[in-house]
Amino acid sequence: ADCPVDLNMFDVVLIHYSVRLYLDDHLSPHYAKALKRFGGFKALFIQDEYDHTNRAIRWMNELGLHTVFTCVPPEYKEDVYPTAKLPNVDFVQVLTGYVPLDFESFTHVKPMAERHTRIGYRGRDLSPRYGDLCREKTTIGTQMKALCKARQVAVDIEWDSSKRIYGDAWYDFVMSSRATLGTESGCNVFDFDGVLLPTIQAALSETPDLSYKAIHEKWLAPLEGQIMMNQVSPRIFEAIACRTALVLFEGTYSGVVEPDIHFIPLKKDFSNLDDVLAKLEDIPYLEQMTERAWVDVIESGRYSYRTFVGAIDHYLHRFVKRGNNSRLISGVVGLYDPDTKTLQPAITPCNEGHPTRQLQVYDWHRLAHDTSWMANPPPPKPDIPGKKKKTKLHKAVANEIKRFVRRRLKAESR
């Protein structure tokens, strides 16, 4: 089947980063074909650029993209996306995430003095393939938990996947502690051809107790740090919105937060731990720091999605004339999952086997009401007895008049 949407009705097509071009079958062939044919402006938001980089580059060329919104710092752009391979693509650096609008209204937060747990943290034990930077997400948790236990400091620190927290419960958890831990996000080991992960997985299958140090020395060390992708994590924004103090490994954090102003810096060898823990006992100090972080990062709007979208709109207006390919689109189409009671867009670029393909079509009037996607949707028109027959009659009379006029015009022309 062809793509169910005529993309030429749009001036711009933006590909979201959730459509991971580096995966073999994440973009369906039908959408890929439609994107190639689309004559308007095409742009891609991309993340996780350290995996299968060459495959993503191939897609950028095949789809004829004009712009890529990337997380790669400008100084490393040529190392990742050489101009020789992508001569006609503009690369614009963006963050991995921004401050959602609802964060600005976070007012009912637990007072710092009522938070008895000093540090709350949920890490993740990622594959060794992702190198030292990702390894820090586990290291900061395991080391801090052990050191705090020895000092009898109350913490809630876990890194096992079974201990992860989701939904609104996550924000309750973040607000329950005086501080949370954090590291820079990203990966500094680029795997351009996707060979590292299967190689390391095979080695671990053969030798399950193979240490990270041994893996790093054999496969990762030559690549580690050639391209620096240290980024600020969206979790930083979450903590600031919850008025929770940040205890972060030393780093730049994309320039969003600064040490001793917005966060308490923790040395990676934990040599200043006692000083860090002492600051967690100083309630006025924590309140002043979290307030500064809130004002500078959240309240300022500098890193909000509103500001981000405005910047994207401004960028697009430089290249796209409004209305070049516009057509009127009326109606709302959506998908409703009765089990989870969640709504999804009806049209997805994923293949037939994708989970959203299994959802049922939802009545658009009900959909508009439930999601506030449409203000005051028009109610269904009531059936009026005899109206359909009259409508058919009117159309028949009109068609007969047209035929009569055509015959007379032809006769006169002879």
Q: How far apart are CA 93 and CA 80, in angstroms?
A: 13
Return the closest-CA partner of residue 120 out of 166, 156, 171, 158: 156
Query: Taking a C-beta distance cutoff of 8 angstroms, is the pair 209, 161 a contact?
Result: no
Place of tokens 């989701």: 166
Q: How far apart are CA 107 and CA 314, in angstroms?
A: 31
| pLDDT tops 90 at residue 216 | yes
Q: How far apart are CA 45 and CA 245, in angstroms?
A: 31
pLDDT on residue 263: 99
Please, where are the H alpha helices in 46-96? Answer: 53-63, 77-80
| pLDDT tops 80 at residue 369 | no
CA atoms within 13 A on the CB side of 259: 10
The identity of residue 257, as a single letter, is: V
pLDDT tens digits along 7-42: 888 999 999 999 998 887 788 888 999 999 999 999
* pLDDT tier, 4 (very low <50, low <70, confident <90, very high otherwise): confident
Q: How far apart are CA 361 and CA 93, in angstroms?
A: 37
| pLDDT tops 80 at residue 409 | no
Four-CA torsion 272, 274, 280, 281, nearest 10 degrees:
-150
Angle at the Cα of 260 from the Cα atoms of 101 and 177, rounded to 5 degrees:
60
Beta bridge partners of 179: 119, 245
More confident residue, 345 or 330: 345
Return the closest-CA partner of residue 54 out of 15, 21, 87: 21
Lowest pLDDT segment from 60-74, 291-305, 359-373: 359-373
pLDDT tens digits along 264-277: 999 999 999 999 99
pLDDT on residue 1: 56
Which residues are CB-neighbours of 30 under 8 A, at least 6 positions away? 1, 2, 3
pTM of the model: 0.76
Return the closest-CA partner of residue 184 out of 103, 260, 95, 303: 95
pLDDT tens digits along 144-186: 999 999 999 999 999 998 999 999 899 999 999 999 999 999 9
pLDDT on residue 24: 78
| pLDDT tops 70 at residue 352 | no
Sheet holding 342-345, edge to edge: 342-345, 334-337, 360-361
| pLDDT tops 60 at residue 142 | yes
* pLDDT tier, 361 (very low <50, low <70, confident <90, very high otherwise): very low
Q: How far apart are CA 380 and CA 283, in angstroms?
A: 59
State the average pLDDT for the chain: 85
Q: How far apart are CA 189 and CA 274, in angstroms?
A: 33
* pLDDT tier, 325 (very low <50, low <70, confident <90, very high otherwise): low
Which residues are CB-neighbours of 306 under 8 A, at least 6 positions away? 101
Query: Which string of b and e fits 295-317 if b means at least 16 CB within 10 Å?
Result: ebbbeeeebbeeebeeebeeebe
The length of the chain in residues reads 414
Q: How far apart are CA 188 and CA 133, in angstroms?
A: 7
* pLDDT tier, 220 (very low <50, low <70, confident <90, very high otherwise): very high
Return the closest-CA partner of residue 95 out of 185, 170, 189: 185
* pLDDT tier, 253 (very low <50, low <70, confident <90, very high otherwise): very high
| pLDDT tops 90 at residue 259 | yes
pLDDT tens digits along 84-101: 999 999 999 999 999 988
pLDDT tens digits along 370-407: 333 323 333 444 444 454 444 555 566 566 666 655 66
> What is the rounded average pLDDT of the residues 308-327?
80
